[in-house]
Amino acid sequence: MAGQIIGYTLLALAVLFISVTVARALAVKKPKIEDSEYVPHEIDKHAVAEKLSGAVRIKTVTLPDNDADGSVFYEYQRYIESVFPKVTENAEKILVNKYAVIYKIKGSDETLLPAAVLAHQDVVPADPEGWEADPFGGEIRDGYVYGRGSQDMKSQMIAALEGLEILLTEGKRPRRTILFCFGHDEELRGTYGAYEISKYLENSGVRLEYVIDEGGTVLDGKILGIDKKIALVGTCEKGYADYILKVKKDGGHASAPTRRTAVGMLAEAIYKVEKHKMRPHWTKPTKEMFAALAPHMNFPFKLALANRDILSPLLKPLLCLVSPFTNCLMRTTLAPTQAEGASTPNTLPGVAEGTVNARINTGESVQSVQAHIQKTVGKHVEISTLEGSIDPSPVSDTSSEAYAMLKKTIGEVFSGYIVAPYPFIAASDAKHYYNLTDNVYRFTPFEKSVEDANRIHGLNERQDIDMLAEGTRFFLRLYENTCL
């Protein structure tokens, strides 16, 4: 009898559990779609492509430091000013720390805080070997502009400028001041460019309504049980650190190896770092992301996310396995990238070193990740960091009017896209602007294939011309919604 009572009780609890979780999932409804009077502008995609082509032809490769000759950035700025005459005519140009630049288009209403549109002038190097086109030729063919920087990120700069150029040509003037802030060393973390611009603006007493930079992406929603495209807006970005693992042992000739060698111990340490991953956890941006996406998911996904608090012990490891992308959202990632031992193959090195690249999740720090690695590999391995380490950025406000307008703009220009905040897993100049506003957002308004996304920093980087036109429409509409 006692066994039956226990059985019935467990059955009742199971039925109750299922009923509650299903009810919570059914209560998650899609938000009402607001009516919009948006009428897309006609964009001359070939004209915009020509402007991007010319920009790519100027070799604005990131300088090793700010003392190097950066005259190419002045050449690039002269080019930008020549192909956007209306912007140039209405802008005050401010050079910051030699090569970074602000173009300030003053609004008619000084009570409105300015909007800042970011982009970086610099690009990574490109060895022509293996390219189908000259990496600095700006060749236009088959519906693409080819060349280094065509995606990262001269396309976004050109689209942002073209959007305002069109409005100014039509005789429209912004009520809100617009600041185009173009750094010159984003590929080296923006220390000389974006950081100095933000410091200049802060010292000038400037506060911003919002910042928009590269970063968010467009995904096929199928990996999360959604039948539409997802437009992700970065509301923060991960921290960054390169950790050096160093092992010291007696060196000598490889014909008489010691019981433990420096290289062997380093290899063991690297294996341990890969095996003992950092724990996944829910952060504010991941919670907000899945809350925004849950109403659009098919029922199994919706059931899981609507009951995230209950099913968390299962969900966290599952999301880490679904894809590399969802794994990056949930945890700090540790990726071994370099190893070095002896300079000759028959020598036992006295020192072996390896590098682990970390992208640090919100809620953790450079110091806490170093402590995790040290605990994992043991005290016999020395841990240090390379210059340039930075903690995760703050998380931007998703309840602000600025975010609402950004979301509205994406929904209008990219009809049918589902907009959601997310933690940007890479790095951008935007991290330097939190001293000026709580509304720092990252969105790249170009849908791209996985193949083209993998060309960034790689061979045959190219920008789809049709998407370049869509990106121009995005910025034009963003100005209409927030600045006119």
Which residues have a catalytic role annotated? 122, 186
- Contacting residues for 247 by C-beta, under 8 A, at least 6 apart: 262, 263, 265, 266, 269, 351, 352, 353, 380, 381, 382
For 85, other C-beta atoms within 10 Å of its C-beta total 12
Question: How many whole angstroms separate alpha carbon 457 and alpha carbon 479?
Answer: 30
- Between the alpha carbon of residue 294 and those of residues 143, 247, 316, 373, the distances in Å are 36, 47, 16, 35
Q: How buried is 142 (Cβ within 10 angstroms: 0-12 exposed, 13-18 middle, 19+ buried)?
A: exposed
Question: Which among 212, 213, 196, 194 has a CA at the least distance from the CA of 204?
Answer: 196
Q: Which two tokens stand for residue 409?
A: 């703009």
Question: Which among 397, 399, 403, 414 has a CA at the least distance from the CA of 482?
Answer: 403
Sign of CA dihedral 105, 108, 110, 114: negative
Question: How many whole angstroms separate alpha carbon 321 and alpha carbon 333?
Answer: 13
Question: How many whole angstroms separate alpha carbon 138 and alpha carbon 136?
Answer: 6
Question: How many whole angstroms separate alpha carbon 398 and alpha carbon 441?
Answer: 10
Question: How many whole angstroms separate alpha carbon 305 and alpha carbon 316?
Answer: 11
Sign of CA dihedral 43, 49, 54, 60: positive
